[in-house]
C-alpha cells in the first residue's frame, strides 16, 4: 500500500527539486552537457558520467557521491537535513556560480547558504512514488511494439517527474509519466499526455487539460497500486492506438 501524504510533503518535494536541479543535474551537465536523471534505490540520481564514472544520487536523507574511475572506487555522503545547498554542492564538487537552466520552469537557487529542513516520511513517500511509476513504465515499455520507438525513462528536474515518450500509433506520440505533484495537482499523479490534440475513445479517461491523470489518492484506495498504474498507462496507449 502507498504511504499517506502529509503536510510536510510539498515543502520537502520542492527542496528536493532544487537539489535535483542545482546539484545532481547541474553536476552531470557540467561534465557532459546532459541533465536527465534516473530513478535509483531510495530516490533518484544521475547515470554514471565523466572520466571517473561519477554518480550522484539521493538515497533517503542522504546525498551520495560515488566514483568508480581509474583511481579506484570511493563514496561519500552528506545529510540533506540541516545542510545548505552550497554545502551539498561543495561536498560533491559541483559549481553553483555558472548560469544553469533545465527549461522555463527551472527552480531558482534561492538562498544557497540557508539550512534545509526535509521531512523524512516525505522522503520515503517520494522514493516509493518514483519507484512505482518507473517500474510501471518499464512494464508498459516491455510490452510495446518495436514501432512504438520508446525513448528512455528519465526523471526531468524541471518538473521533477519520471517520464518517457512513445508512439502509441502512427502520428500519435505521447508522454507517459508520474509527477510528485505541482501547480496542477498538490498530490502525486500519473499521466498520459498526447503530443497532439487527439483524445480518442473514452472521454472520461481524458480528465485533464493535457490528457488523462490518475491521482495518488485513487491509487491508495486499491489493493495493488502498481497493477493499477500499469493498467492506466495501458489504457491510455490503447485509446490512442484506436
Segment 96-108 shows an average pLDDT of 96
**How many Å separate Cα 23 from the centre of its chain?**
15
CB contact at 8 A, 176 and 191: yes
pLDDT, tens digit, for every residue of 149-162?
Answer: 999 999 999 999 99
Check whether 97 has a pLDDT greater than 90: yes
Give the Cα separation of 131 and 41 in Å (integer): 8
Distances from the Cα of 189 to the Cα of 183, 212, 229, angstroms:
12, 10, 10
pLDDT of residue 1: 81
Where residue 70 falls among pLDDT bands split at 50, 70, 90?
Answer: confident
Strand partners, 54: 49
State the first-to-last Cα distance of the chain, in angstroms, to the nearest integer: 33
Band (pLDDT 50/70/90 cuts) for residue 147 is confident
Beta strands in the chain (DSSP E): 38-40, 43-45, 55-59, 62-69, 72-79, 154-156, 161-169, 172-179, 189-194, 212-215
Percent of the chain, pLDDT > 90?
95
- pLDDT tens per residue, range 179-213: 999 999 999 999 999 999 999 999 999 999 999 99
- In this predicted structure, the answer to whether residue 146 has a pLDDT above a threshold of 90 is no
Confidence of residue 145 (pLDDT cuts 50, 70, 90): confident
- What is the residue extent of each domain of the chain? 9-121, 122-241
Q: Over 90: is that where the pLDDT of 88 sits?
A: yes
Amino acid at each position: 500500500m502507498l504511504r499517506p501524504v502529509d503536510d510536510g510533503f510539498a515543502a520537502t518535494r520542492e527542496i528536493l527539486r532544487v537539489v535535483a536541479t542545482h546539484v545532481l543535474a547541474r553536476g552531470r551537465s557540467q561534465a557532459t552537457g546532459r541533465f536527465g536523471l534516473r530513478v535509483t534505490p531510495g530516490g533518484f540520481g544521475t547515470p554514471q558520467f565523466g572520466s571517473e564514472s561519477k554518480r550522484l544520487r539521493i538515497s533517503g536523507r542522504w546525498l551520495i557521491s560515488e566514483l568508480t574511475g581509474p583511481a579506484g572506487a570511493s563514496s561519500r555522503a552528506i545529510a540533506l537535513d540541516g545542510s545548505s545547498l552550497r554545502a551539498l554542492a561543495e561536498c560533491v564538487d559541483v559549481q553553483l556560480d555558472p548560469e544553469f537552466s533545465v527549461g522555463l520552469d527551472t527552480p531558482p537557487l534561492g538562498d544557497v547558504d540557508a539550512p534545509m529542513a526535509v521531512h523524512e516520511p516525505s522522503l520515503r513517500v517520494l522514493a516509493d512514488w518514483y519507484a512505482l511509476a518507473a517500474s510501471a513504465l518499464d512494464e508498459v515499455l516491455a510490452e510495446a511494439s518495436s514501432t512504438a520507438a520508446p525513448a528512455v525513462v528519465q526523471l526531468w528536474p524541471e518538473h521533477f517527474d519520471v517520464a518517457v515518450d512513445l508512439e502509441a500509433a502512427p502520428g500519435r506520440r505521447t508522454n507517459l509519466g508520474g509527477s510528485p505533484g505541482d501547480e496542477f495537482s498538490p498530490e502525486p499523479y500519473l499521466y498520459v499526455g498526447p503530443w497532439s490534440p487527439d483524445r480518442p475513445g473514452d472521454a472520461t479517461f481524458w480528465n485533464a487539460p493535457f490528457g488523462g491523470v490518475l491521482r495518488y489518492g485513487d491509487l491508495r484506495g486499491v489493493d495493488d497500486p502498481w497493477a493499477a498504474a500499469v493498467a492506466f498507462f495501458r489504457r491510455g496507449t490503447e485509446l490512442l492506438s484506436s
